[in-house]
């Protein structure tokens, strides 16, 4: 049986899925798992396609101290206990920079280009690339495919892409990239099944999780995003501030004496819901709290989402549908209600009963704009790109991707 391994790695966890394939187009999920608590309390859990447990094992912290060792541990379990020897590995990579607008077969040149983008995604890029290095060392002939969160947004117009700074910086790669593209691409495809009446129209999608953004789709293509050059822009997130006047950063450096690295650390780790509430970056904890700071953080999040919905509706020249997705968007009925209230002026009318039941269609029949809750599946999207890129690589090695 042919299989594809999908890897989505972070600083303290490695999520993975295994898909059976015919090597052409068919994909069937077999295993879904995660190695969490890397370096502290490493724990490997995995489930079969029906949700049945396959393993739940805790390791000594010293034996799984980093992401590279974690992927080795996962790989050993898949080979030795599940007899999984994938024909390719697909990786989520947050930043593709100006060079990559599609999935690519990874070689040393591609890795070197991607490592140069670490400063633009310091929370994500190093951890996205560590498993690739680890696998290349142990299995140099195993094809690995990079799938980029920025690629889906490369359809933006120049007007949407540029910053109003001297033009030469655009040539250097300083532009609005947008992120969460794998999620948006999946939702764009799912709309043809869930809501065919609006799939080719003007839709705003809210990917709301610890990392959060919103995207304007027209005919299933991204035309605008709340995120830009880095993953700090747009909506407030779990620990990141979202849109912030650049003068604030200059003030912190020049007047408060903070170093650039300390400001960067604060912006990525201490802001957003965590910074506003002083309690947590987790919406579930904030919703359960009676602390007024928690309520304020949640109100702020909803308020900013409402503002960006208006901005994206303007970019589209109108709106025909709105979709909630990702961890918060799929699971928090309270946050969906808060945000939907901000969309009333656009003609949105949420159905409290359908919303509480986490239905796919959560708007009233009379709502001018239908509201949907659609589960995203970035791993399936990565598997599809991996299979397609693998097939293409048999014809011609596309190691450099399409250079935009």
Choosing from 99, 101, 149, 233, the catalytic residue is: 149
Q: Please calculate the CA angle 38-40-45 and round it to the nearest 5 degrees.
A: 50
Closest CA to 390 of 108, 146, 188, 115: 146
Provide the sign of the torsion angle of the four alpha carbons 213, 301, 380, 194, taken in this order: negative
Task: Spell out the SS3 assignment of 75-115.
Answer: HHHHHHHHCCCCCEEEEEECCCCCCCCCCEECCHHHHHHHH
**In whole angstroms, what is the distance from residue 37 CA to residue 44 CA?**
9
Q: How far apart are CA 383 and CA 81, in angstroms?
A: 22
Which two three-digit tokens encode residue 289?
């709290």
Distance CA 72, CA 93 (A): 19
Does the active-site annotation cover 99?
no
Token reading at 354: 């359908």
Residues designated catalytic: 149
């Amino acid at each position: 049986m042919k299989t594809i391994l999908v890897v989505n790695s972070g600083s303290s966890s490695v999520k993975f899925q295994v898909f059976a394939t015919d090597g052409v187009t068919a994909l069937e999920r077999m295993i879904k798992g995660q190695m969490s608590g890397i370096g502290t309390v490493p724990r490997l859990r995995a489930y079969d396609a029906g949700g049945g447990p396959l393993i739940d094992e805790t390791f000594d912290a010293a034996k799984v101290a980093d992401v590279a060792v974690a992927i080795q541990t996962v790989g050993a379990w898949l080979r030795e206990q599940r007899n999984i020897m994938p024909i390719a590995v697909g990786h989520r990579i947050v930043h593709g920079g100006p060079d990559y607008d599609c999935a690519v077969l990874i070689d040393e040149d591609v890795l070197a280009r991607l490592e140069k983008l670490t400063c633009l995604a310091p929370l994500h890029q190093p951890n996205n690339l560590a498993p690739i290095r680890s696998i290349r060392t142990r299995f140099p002939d195993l094809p690995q495919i990079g799938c980029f969160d920025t690629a889906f947004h490369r359809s933006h117009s120049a007007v949407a892409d540029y910053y109003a700074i001297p033009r030469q910086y655009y040539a250097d790669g300083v532009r609005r990239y947008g992120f969460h593209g794998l999620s948006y691409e999946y939702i764009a495809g799912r709309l043809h099944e869930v809501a065919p009446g609006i799939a080719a129209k003007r839709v705003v999608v809210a990917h709301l999780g610890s990392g959060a953004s919103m995207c304007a789709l027209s005919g299933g293509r991204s035309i605008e995003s709340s995120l830009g050059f880095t993953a700090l822009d747009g909506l407030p997130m779990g620990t990141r501030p979202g849109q912030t006047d650049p003068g604030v950063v200059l003030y912190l450096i020049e007047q408060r004496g903070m170093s650039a690295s300390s400001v960067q650390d604060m912006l990525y780790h201490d802001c957003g819901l965590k910074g506003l509430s002083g309690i947590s970056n987790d919406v579930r904890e904030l919703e359960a709290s009676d602390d007024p700071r928690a309520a304020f953080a949640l109100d702020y999040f909803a308020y900013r989402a409402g503002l960006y919905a208006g901005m994206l509706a303007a970019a589209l020249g109108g709106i025909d549908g709105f979709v909630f997705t990702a961890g918060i968007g799929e699971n928090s009925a309270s946050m969906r209600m808060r945000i939907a209230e901000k969309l009333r002026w656009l003609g949105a009318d949420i159905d409290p009963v359908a919303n509480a039941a986490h239905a796919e269609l959560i708007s009233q029949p009379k709502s001018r704009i239908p509201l949907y809750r659609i589960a995203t599946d970035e791993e399936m999207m990565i598997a599809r790109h991996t299979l397609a890129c693998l097939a293409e690589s048999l014809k011609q090695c596309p190691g450099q991707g399409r250079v935009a």
